[in-house]
Structure 1
Amino acid sequence: MAAVIDSDQSAPAGEAPIQSFLVTFIIRRYDPEVDAEPRWVDYDVEMYPTERVLDALHKIKWDQDGSLTFRRSCAHGVCGSDAMRINGRNRLACKTLIKDLDISKPIYVEAIKGLPLEKDLVVDMDPFLDAYKAVQPFLISHSHPEKGKERLQSAEDRERFDDTTKCILCAACTSSCPVFWTDGQYFGPAAIVNAHRFIFDSRDDAADVRLDILNDKEGVWRCRTTFNCTEACPRGIQVTRAIAEVKQAILRGGR
Structure 2
Amino acid sequence: MTATLDTTAEAENKPAAGEIPSFDVTLKIQRFSPEVGPDPWWDEFTITVHGTDRVLDALHKIKWEDDGTLSFRRSCAHGVCGSDAMRINGRNRLACKTLLKDVNPDKPIIVEPIKGLPVLKDLIVDMEPFFASYREIMPFFINKGNEPSKEHLQSSEERERFDDTTKCILCAACTSSCPVFWTDGQYFGPAAIVNAHRFIFDSRDDGATQRLEILNDKEGVWRCRTTFNCTEACPRGIEVTKAIQEVKRAMITRAF
With the length of structure 1 as denominator, give the TM-score of the two structures. 0.93
Structure 1: distance between partners of 2:67 and 2:13: 24
Query: Could you tell me which residue of structure 1 aligns to residue 171 of structure 2?
Result: 170
Q: Match of 2:173, as an amino acid?
A: A
Structure 2: distance between partners of 1:59 and 1:105: 19
Query: Could you tell me which residue of structure 1 aligns to residue 79 of structure 2?
Result: 77
Structure 1: distance between partners of 2:95 and 2:227: 24
Give secondary structure in 1 for the equivalent of 2:96: helix
Give the alignment of 1:184-223 within 5 angstroms: 184-223=185-224
Q: Residues 245 and 7 (structure 1 numbering): CA distance in 2 closer, same or farther, change over 3 Å?
A: farther
Give the alignment of 1:1-255 within 5 angstroms: 11-12=17-18, 17-144=19-146, 146-147=148-149, 149-255=150-256
Give secondary structure in 1 for the equivalent of 2:44: strand
Higher Cα Rg, which structure: 2
Question: What is the percentage of aligned positions where both structures have the same residue?
Answer: 69
* Unpaired segments ≥5 residues, structure 1: 1-5
Q: Please give the per-residue CA displacement for 1:39-93, whole angstroms capped at 9, x wherever unaligned.
A: 0100001111111000000000000000000000000000000000000000000
Q: Match of 1:190, as an amino acid?
A: A
Q: Residues 90 and 139 (structure 1 numbering): CA distance in 2 closer, same or farther, change over 3 Å?
A: same
Give secondary structure in 2 for the equivalent of 1:229: helix
Query: Could you tell me which residue of structure 2 aligns to residue 3 of structure 1?
Result: none
With the length of structure 2 as denominator, give the TM-score of the two structures. 0.93
Superposed CA RMSD: 1.4
Q: Residues 7 and 67 (structure 1 numbering): CA distance in 2 closer, same or farther, change over 3 Å?
A: farther
Aligned residues: 245
Give secondary structure in 2 for the equivalent of 1:22: strand
* Unpaired segments ≥5 residues, structure 2: 1-11
